Amino acid sequence: MMLNKNIFSKTPDVSPIRKGFGEGLALAGKEDTRVVGLCADLTESTHMSLFKEQFPKRFIEVGVAEQNLATVASGLAAMGKIPFITSYAMFSPGRNWEQIRTTIAYNDRPVKIAGSHAGISVGPDGGTHQAIEDIALMRVMPNMTVVSPCDAIEARKATLALAKTDKPAYIRLSREKTPIITLEDTPFEIGKGSVIYENDASKKGHKDVAIIATGPILFQALKAAYSLDQDRVGVVVVNIHTIKPIDQKLVVKVAQEYKSVVTVEEHQVSGGLGSAVCEVLAEHEPVPVELVGIRDLFGQSGTPDELIKHYGLDAESIIEAGRRAIHRKK
């Protein structure tokens, strides 16, 4: 099984996703001397410090200047480097979107944009620092790969995998310690989603609803699926860590099998995972889809748990969405 057995316990193992990124980047730097790191005054926060300590000559501090962060990286990539740039997602790719579009994506340079502190679960900092539009911003951009790992282990694997590609990419990271969902030997391949959990009711043939989730909020989806099992509602949970290119085959397959879908993301429902799934299903397998995400609102201060509940991203909300999706089948 690819799922951490500890995940349904009262105290699942936790670790920050950005730490997985930092470890992955340090490993990538060891494997390939072309890897360089750039940061906009958030080296500790983004865990790029792990790379900086090991490879000081390949680390560049650009200061609080996210537009420069992206454009300098484009120049480095033009000379054969593989730059990773880090800041808060709200500022990169938020503030420097056009620079990323023109100098990285339009030039087709292999710059990897790591946006940390994404999602509302940044918590107390408030709405200005909560990037909940970043998937949409990056997904719409030609040439850009978009990856949203679900835990620290996956973030490390994703970072290493991205360092080996010659395309521009965005990797979305969250701030908080989040549950370790996957295992060390869970396979990871860019562009490939995976069925991460199938509850017992589903195994017994009750194919009721497929939940497709991305990022650490996948944990809430797993809790929902586990809980629905007690009501004999058959649920499969799919982890889509690569939002672009999305694993169309898998999305269509579970939609055919389960005939209804719920998407879950810590992001606006517009333009994110839900939209991506709907685009695939509308063209290939139209089934009822319920989208769990933030509905045209900005975030606010609060603890991550308070915010996830308030904005309707918790397991309870996912269960309700699942029931609505099943109901719409009739």
Partner 1 sequence: MLPPFLHSTDEHIRSLELIANRIRQSIIEMLLEAGSGHTAGPLGMADIFTALYFSLLRHDAKRPTWDDRDRVVLSNGHICPVLYATLAHAGYFPVKELLTLRKFGSRLQGHPHREFLPILENSSGPLGSGLSQATGMALADKIDGITHRYVYCLMSDGELQEGNTWEGAMLAGKERLHNLVAIIDRNNIQIDGFTEDIMPLEPLRAKWEAWNWNVLEVDGHDMEDIITKVNQAKSSYGKPNMIIAHTIPGKGVPEFERKFEWHGKPPNKEEAALALESLRSFAGQIQHEGQ
Residue 30 sits in the site that holds partner 1 (CB under 8 A) = no
Distance in angstroms (rounded) separating the CA atoms of residues 216 and 122: 12
Residue from 39, 48, 77, 218 touching partner 1 (CB under 8 A): that is: 77
Residue from 17, 35, 36, 162 touching partner 1 (CB under 8 A): that is: 36
Residues 6+ apart with CB under 8 A from 306: none
User: In this complex, which beta carbon is closest to partner 1, that of residue 69 or of residue 315?
Assistant: 69
Residue 15 sits in the site that holds partner 1 (CB under 8 A) = no
- Site residues (CB under 8 A) for partner 1, limited to 91-120: 98-99, 102-103, 106-108
Residue 137 sits in the site that holds partner 1 (CB under 8 A) = no
Residue 189 is among the residues annotated as catalytic for this protein: no
Q: Write down the least CB distance from residue 64 to partner 1, Å.
A: 9
Q: Write down the least CB distance from residue 72 to partner 1, Å.
A: 4
CB 13: neighbour CB atoms within 10 A? 14
Q: Write down the least CB distance from residue 68 to partner 1, Å.
A: 3
Distance in angstroms (rounded) separating the CA atoms of residues 326 and 323: 5
Residue 32 sits in the site that holds partner 1 (CB under 8 A) = no
- Token pair of 25, please? 């980047």
Say if residues 129 and 88 touch (Cβ distance below 8 Å).
yes
User: In this complex, which beta carbon is closest to partner 1, that of residue 40 or of residue 251?
Assistant: 40
Residue 87 sits in the site that holds partner 1 (CB under 8 A) = no
Distance in angstroms (rounded) separating the CA atoms of residues 25 and 32: 10
User: In this complex, which beta carbon is closest to partner 1, that of residue 17 or of residue 40?
Assistant: 40
Residues 232-267: b if buried by 16+ CB within 10 A, e if exposed? ebbbbbbbbbbbbebbbebbbbbbeebbbbbbbbbb
Residue from 4, 43, 46, 71 touching partner 1 (CB under 8 A): that is: 71
Residue 305 sits in the site that holds partner 1 (CB under 8 A) = no
Of the candidates 66, 133, 266, 290, the residue annotated as catalytic is 66
Binding mask 177-196 for partner 1 (x = CB under 8 A): --------------------
Residue 9 sits in the site that holds partner 1 (CB under 8 A) = no
Which residues are paired to 146 by β-bridges? Answer: 170, 244
Q: Concatenate the DSSP letters of all residues of 38-74 into one string.
A: EESS-TTTTTTHHHHHH-GGGEEE--S-HHHHHHHHH
User: In this complex, which beta carbon is closest to partner 1, that of residue 169 or of residue 246?
Assistant: 169
Residue from 200, 201, 223, 225 nearest 211 by CA = 225
User: In this complex, which beta carbon is closest to partner 1, that of residue 63 or of residue 124?
Assistant: 63
User: In this complex, which beta carbon is closest to partner 1, that of residue 80 or of residue 205?
Assistant: 80
Distance in angstroms (rounded) separating the CA atoms of residues 308 and 201: 27
Q: Concatenate the DSSP letters of all residues of 84-146 into one string.
A: EEEEETTTTTTTTHHHIIIIIITTT---EEEEESBSGGGGGG-GGG-BSSHHHHHHTSTT-EE
Residues carrying an active site annotation: 66
Please give the residue ranges that form the binding site for partner 1 (CB under 8 A): 36, 57-58, 60, 62-63, 65, 67-68, 71-81, 83, 98-99, 102-103, 106-108
